[in-house]
């Protein structure tokens, strides 16, 4: 158990809908990262928050947004969902904002039908 | 563009048959190279971080090494429980703290 908690574990929704994925980082970790993993693309970086502030963005679609709250948990919001958004979404956390390993949660499997 | 390429894509070994996985990278400046293990349907599990060429780290049957262009994950006398996908990732200097991942090597160890 990495100490990073993601909910829900599975999510099935229809195209055009909006969902929210939640991540609780390890105790004491200030950084939260979101990654998307699909079969053909591998793990792709979406966004990084450090202590409530956005630090970096990857190839995150405009339909996707995230935030980190004062208690350091983070939410990833996905809207106007398309079939191609079906993937595993992982959250990772680390202590500092650089040079430390990131620990991953178990992921949320999103299926868009 | 920063790139990470892992080979082979898949590897089948007999129990006890040692081998190596390769991770080659092209980055503007390497801050760190990370190895993770991922079991099906699970999140990546951290194994090693390497920071400079010549560095080596070991954990049980695994040993990771780093050169200026690539990293190797050596697996000595593997057991069936070592079966997993092994992911390599790099963190780039001067940029964000994101990890750029390779697509992984799926290792199967047969008893």
Any A CB within 8 A of B43 CB: yes
Q: Is it true that the peptide bond before A106 is cis, omega within 30 degrees of 0?
A: no
Q: What percent of chain A has pLDDT over 90?
A: 81
Average pLDDT of the residues of chain B: 93
Query: Are the CB atoms for B103 and B73 separated by under 8 Å?
Result: no
pLDDT digits (tens, 9 = 90+) for A4-37: 999 999 999 999 999 999 999 999 999 999 999 9
When CB atoms are compared, the residue of A44, A97, A103 closest to B46 is A103
Out of A58, A103, A106, closest to residue B42 by CB = A106
Residue B44 distance to chain A (closest CA, Å): 6
Contacts of A99 in chain B (CB under 8 A): 31-32, 91
Q: Between chains, do B42 and A107 touch, taking CB under 8 Å as contact?
A: yes
The residues that bridge with A29 in the sheet, in sequence order, are none
* Residue B105 to residue B89: CA distance in whole angstroms: 12
Whether residue B34 lies within 8 A of chain A, CB to CB, comes out as yes
At residue A42, does pLDDT exceed 90? Answer: no
């Amino acid at each position: 158990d990495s100490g990073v908690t993601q909910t829900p574990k599975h999510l099935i929704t229809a195209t055009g809908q909006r969902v929210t994925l939640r991540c609780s980082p390890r105790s004491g970790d200030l950084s939260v990262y979101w990654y998307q993993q699909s079969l053909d693309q591998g793990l792709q970086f979406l966004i990084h928050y450090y202590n409530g502030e956005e630090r970096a963005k990857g190839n995150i679609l405009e339909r996707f947004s995230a935030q980190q709250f004062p208690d350091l948990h983070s939410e990833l919001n996905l809207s106007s969902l398309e079939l191609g958004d079906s993937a595993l979404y992982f959250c990772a956390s680390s202590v500092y904002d650089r040079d430390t390993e990131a620990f991953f949660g178990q992921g949320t499997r999103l299926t868009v039908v | 563009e920063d790139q990470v390429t892992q080979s082979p894509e898949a590897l089948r070994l007999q129990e006890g048959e040692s081998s190596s996985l390769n991770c080659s990278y092209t980055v503007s400046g390497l801050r760190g190279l990370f190895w993770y293990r991922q079991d099906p349907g699970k999140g990546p599990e951290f194994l090693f971080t390497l920071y400079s060429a010549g560095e080596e780290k070991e954990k049980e049957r695994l040993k990771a090494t780093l050169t200026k262009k690539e990293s190797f994950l050596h697996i000595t006398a593997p057991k069936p429980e070592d079966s997993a996908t092994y992911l390599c990732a790099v963190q780039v200097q001067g940029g964000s703290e994101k990890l750029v991942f390779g697509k992984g090597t799926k290792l199967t160890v047969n008893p």
